[in-house]
Chain A
Amino acid sequence: GDSVTQMEGPVTLSEEAFLTINCTYTATGYPSLFWYVQYPGEGLQLLLKATKADDKGSNKGFEATYRKETTSFHLEKGSVQVSDSAVYFCALSSGGANNLFFGTGTRLTVIP
């Protein structure tokens, strides 16, 4: 079945450090891929998405590229800020139902 494997956390970085959170997926067909962010006590917000191979999603300095050959969708940011502290979820949707399959989430803490 469809699934997402996400880098386990927690991740702690200093402000302005480079961020990578790894995400790989297993899916039949051609899934769409997403990164969602969840700030403390809040619901999930879409951070970025990609709907086909080689697409790059980007938003707020974050980027992720849909790599079909490695079945990956790693999240990167060149210089993190304290305000980026949150839990990040990789997810895919596929098939007729388009239900989301989430990874386990990675908690990021950025310290000044």
Chain B
Amino acid sequence: DAMVIQNPRYQVTQFGKPVTLSCSQTLNHNVMYWYQQKSSQAPKLLFHYYDKDFNNEADTPDNFQSRRPNTSFCFLDIRSPGLGDAAMYLCATRPWGNRGDEQFFGPGTRLTVL
């Protein structure tokens, strides 16, 4: 089945130690998103790609970076994680165009910062 895959499902890192989360998709969608979701809150958009065109949300901290080497893969890099970065990180995809198309979400990676 076509899907959005996130690895790992659970990630533990130390305060200040760089960490990378990965997302892959078999849907061949042009648009990919990264969200941060803290406990009992709505997902918050960090950035998204239209193909390789990167779009950063205005309030996304500089500590968060992203790479998309090809259509299938997208990475979220947190350069110096702080305790406040502990959250669930969700990847989502959407085909280009039709504004009615929903976003397809992966299962998420839960990040713990010690």
Contact = CB atoms under 8 A, between A and B. Distances in A.
A99 B95 CA distance: 12
User: B interface, how many residues as a size bin?
Assistant: 20 to 34
B99 A93 contact: yes
A50 to B, nearest CB: 9
Contacts of A70: none
Q: Which 10 residue pairs spanning A and B have beta carbons closest together? A: A51-B100, A102-B42, A43-B105, A44-B105, A43-B107, A43-B108, A46-B102, A32-B100, A98-B99, A43-B106
Contacts of A107: 40
Interface string B19-35: 00000000000010100
User: A interface, how many residues as a size bin?
Assistant: 20 to 34
B48 interface: yes
A98 B90 CA distance: 17
B21 to A, nearest CB: 13
